[in-house]
Structure 1
């Protein structure tokens, strides 16, 4: 599967947005970087769909621009004026050339979902490989209104239950992508979250 991080050169706070080319050319999250449309166009002149992990601003600020430019479908768990397809836990969606299961993973955001196939995890912010808080196994912040560490822990457990052992590629909403034993990274994040290690001083 061909995955390109299209917000890698951003100079503003944004999520990682990933372009996946193939049978269903897909943008996973739209990000907040002005000019993301131009970066996508550097790689393809056609986009079938945008699939959202959740609707925090750093993931959707450029959604309208992308949808206007490519006139493509938009898949999301929660209501959005531009949503064309509603996602639910247990649904399946084709991203690139692979079929991914939608796993509902709230805690960081009430509408958060992750996408998992036999080889790949798009984890959004529920679990990341590394970030400013932890290396090798971090998790989404839960210190703001509407967030819950307890629910996040349950979401990570659900993700582990439904993620095949064959998954060896993880593309998260922040930090670096990871290739290797993804299950170990996710289990490390779960252990930290369960020990109530604060991600930020106010967490």
Structure 2
């Protein structure tokens, strides 16, 4: 499996492209905005766009979902249905943050913990990781040792929990149960900033290493 990362929106959110080696099918994860840049990056990535995957429904992750799905006739998978209220609030989110207008969308498939999503022949495990938002999911590919974590975990930090229905303790529990159970060498694509590995965060991230305080 190949992947590429494109920072979009003023928040520099990592929109990522996951490409199956055997079929050249491509999933676009969290197309948050800057649709022209996303379409240009898709040309560079090559292959056939197959679907849109969504980790959670904050504007900078989903602002261009409805438009991209419509333009390329792609199905939308994710997030967990507990993020429905964030999707419903997309027009207000865009207005409040000074973003281009953004339309709500209805996923073709809501995702649950333990589900699988496919990109061509490549299978990802879905893990529900609430706390940043209640419906946040991550996508883990065991053979590639890669997990797309959205705003759950960052290089040296974790997602904010001061948004509506965010919860710090819930987020820490999700990280412990769903991410720190992975091998040290598993790399992750966060929603913002540089990539890291589970092992690096386990050893160095003050929020999850036990080194804070």
Normalised by the shorter chain, which TM-score bucket? 0.7 to 0.9
1:26-69 CA-partner distances (Å, limit 9, x unpaired): 11111222422232233336210111100000000011221122
Aligned residue in 2 for 1:182: 198
Aligned residues: 185
TM-score relative to the length of structure 2 = 0.76
> Superposed, which structure 2 residues align to 1:123-134 within 5 Å?
123-129=149-155
Matched, 1:121 2:171: no
Please, what TM-score do these two structures have when normalized by structure 1? 0.79
Report the equivalent of 1:29. Answer: 30
Higher helix share: 2
In 2: Cα distance, 1:162 partner to 1:193 partner: 12
- Gap runs ≥5 in structure 2: 88-104
Unaligned runs of 5+ in 1: 130-136, 199-203
> What is the CA–CA distance in structure 2 between the aligned matches of 1:91 and 1:142, rounded to whole Å?
25
Do the aligned residues in 2 keep the contact of 1:13 with 1:32 (CA within 8 Å)? no
| 1:98 and 2:122 matched | yes
Contact kept, 8 Å, 1:17 with 1:31, in 2: the verdict is: yes
Question: Is the aligned partner of 1:150 residue 2:169?
Answer: yes
RMSD value, Cα:
2.6
**1:40 aligns to what?**
42
Distance 2:204 2:71 in 1: 40
User: Cα offset for 1:167?
Assistant: 4.5
